[in-house]
Amino acid sequence: AVPPHHPVVCCSPAGPQICTKRPGRGRTLLGSQRKRRKSATPDPKEKQTCDIRLRVRAEYCQHETALQGNVFSNKQDPLERQFERFNQANTILKSRDLGSIICDIKFSELTYLDAFWRDYINGSLLEALKGVFITDSLKQAVGHEAIKLLVNVDEEDYEVGRQKLLRNLMLQTAP
């Protein structure tokens, strides 16, 4: 068990998105639900947490070699020929998708959230994740082709989370 003041990565092995979605994300609320949600104020004594969504994606660096010689059309009409070549290229590129992982990280301490954000901004999070995600088995699977890792954290999530955790600090120091 991890103490509640440490960041927790919530992941499950189901489907291509390893981690569970955050509540309320990507769902439309009915009018009555919206009102309930707005009026539900958190207990000021209860410590608030924030979720930060981390997206990690592996991609091939070059696609030209896979496309060369594999995209062609015998169609006479220029528009049909272009459409067929586009579809073939699209199919090839989709088959080369290495996938992505989305994790929701729960923070209850501002210092941990800020340290995470600093590591994201300065690139050290990316470097640390390369060792986790670009494994020997992945390198074997892609053969001689170069791959890159893309890491994304939404700045708005960080700012909203930071404000929420800042309120925690203010409530703790208030008389």
Domain membership of residue 25 (yes or no) is no
pLDDT of residue 113: 95
| Residues 164 and 51: beta-carbon distance below 8 Å | no
Residue 90 maps to a domain: yes
Q: In 3D, which of 137, 62, 45, 128 has the Cα closest to residue 96?
A: 62
- Does the predicted model carry a pTM greater than 0.85? no
* Segment 16-50, tens digit of pLDDT: 223 333 333 333 344 444 444 444 555 556 678 89
CA dist., res. 40 & res. 43, Å (int): 9
The C-alpha atoms of residue 77 and residue 151 are separated, in whole angstroms, by: 42
Residue 135 clears pLDDT 80, i.e. is over it: yes
Residue 43: exposure state from Cβ atoms within 10 A (0-12, 13-18, ≥19): exposed
Q: Which domain holds residue 121?
A: 50-173
Instruction: Report yes or no on 139 lying in a domain.
Output: yes
- 37 located within any domain: no
| pLDDT for 99 | 85
Domain contains 31: no
| Domain assignment of residue 28, yes or no | no
Report yes or no on 12 lying in a domain: no
* Mean pLDDT computed over 109-127: 94
pLDDT (0 to 100) of residue 22: 37
| Per-residue confidence (pLDDT) for residue 5, from 0 to 100 | 34
Look at residue 130 and give its three-state secondary structure.
helix
Most confident of 18-32, 69-83, 136-150: 69-83
Q: Is residue 174 very low, low, confident or very high in pLDDT (cuts 50, 70, 90)?
A: low
Domain total in the chain: 1
Distances (CA, A) of 29 to 37, 57, 160: 9, 30, 20
Residue 42 is predicted with a pLDDT of: 55
Residue among 28, 15, 8 nearest 105 (CA) = 8
Report which secondary-structure segment, H or E, holds 93: helix 78-95
* 45 inside domain: no
Q: What is the mean pLDDT of residues 130-139?
A: 87
Report the range of poorest mean pLDDT among 6-20, 43-57, 87-101, 133-147: 6-20
